[in-house]
Structure 1
């Protein structure tokens, strides 16, 4: 009589988060007229059982019909989906922002009171009737006006400076809450289901085509007056232009494989 051997225990679904621009290496780029084909290699660890791999920062101009995934290692790829990456909602307020806005409101009201007091003081001075004014008190009235007006001017200047500073701090806090905008040209994400029989490191290659990439031929003719054998040298170059959102695309691939077709 033989005993039944229980199947291996699998852990709950293991999630792996990867960013295309930071967590991969470009293996090759083939540039055609108007498009390019890119191969990126990812290396990561998987757990025994089901693994859900999410890769963000893929180019929005990708031809989604061209998207392919190749796996290497002790794992099997079960499912692949492409979708637009949705940014999580940003918080709209914070304790710091509320405190700044409350202080700003008080400052605005204080500034309005100071400006109104200064205006009332000026109105009072201009309303004095010289015919009924005791000339002996004129100097005292003017001195008192100057003293009061100077204090109010200083207060208005101080409050205006505080108001401007608070508005700047409020704007900075709102920008902090909004978070980085990111690259809108890298708005796709891939979700890949990977089943592994054992824990270990696997490799996944993403192969896809993108628009907004092209190249054109350029020639550089150099003439040397120092030699008679080959005085003319013709250099053939390929000038590449791209607007795929992958900033380091053709810089990085110079160390791997770049093909102009």
Structure 2
């Protein structure tokens, strides 16, 4: 599932491609991916323009010139591709937004969605999300406050979108590895120094992942040089049985609260 770095990579790469461009056509192949009648969706978008793309947690917000907002959550298996019909991947599309000869394809939106809202509706829908971990105001003191009173393990807390937004399975494991902490450790067992390590690891891992285009390898456009470059830099995620890059012991895969979890039992404590 796309997490904060993947969605931020989409935002940064897609903005110069479609911002300010007139929408010349819309296809809806799966009405269940929308929250409004397809005809209303199409009529709102035709001739409209995306004036800005924002990101909040794992969502992208396409702000339209007419003040409506397209709220995208790709969920499991969702991705986007921008290009000509000839360049399009051989995959089923649920929604397509046309920009002349180029098109923005929404692929794999079986669990995900592309909803049309007013600005106030979006604010209400996203109000329960926790703080953004890379924002300047998300200090170590704020991080401590968010963790205070939590009884769960690190994995569960890091992926809880009401505590900290944008982190999922992949980066929770990478953050714990970078901090040298077991993702199965309970929050109350952590000393202040360990929490501090976790906080700085969180910021460092997410920034590195954004720099290298996240871990999902499906390109956004033909010749995309960035998307998915972090996959080869993952230290533990999806590396079960491989030697730990820090100590050489095999990486362990375990199910934690119904989520797959990867870690080194030797150098994470």
For normalisation by structure 1, the TM-score amounts to 0.18
Greater RCO, 1 or 2 (C-alpha within 8 Å, sep 6+): 1
Structure number with the higher strand fraction is: 1
The structure that has the greater radius of gyration is: 1
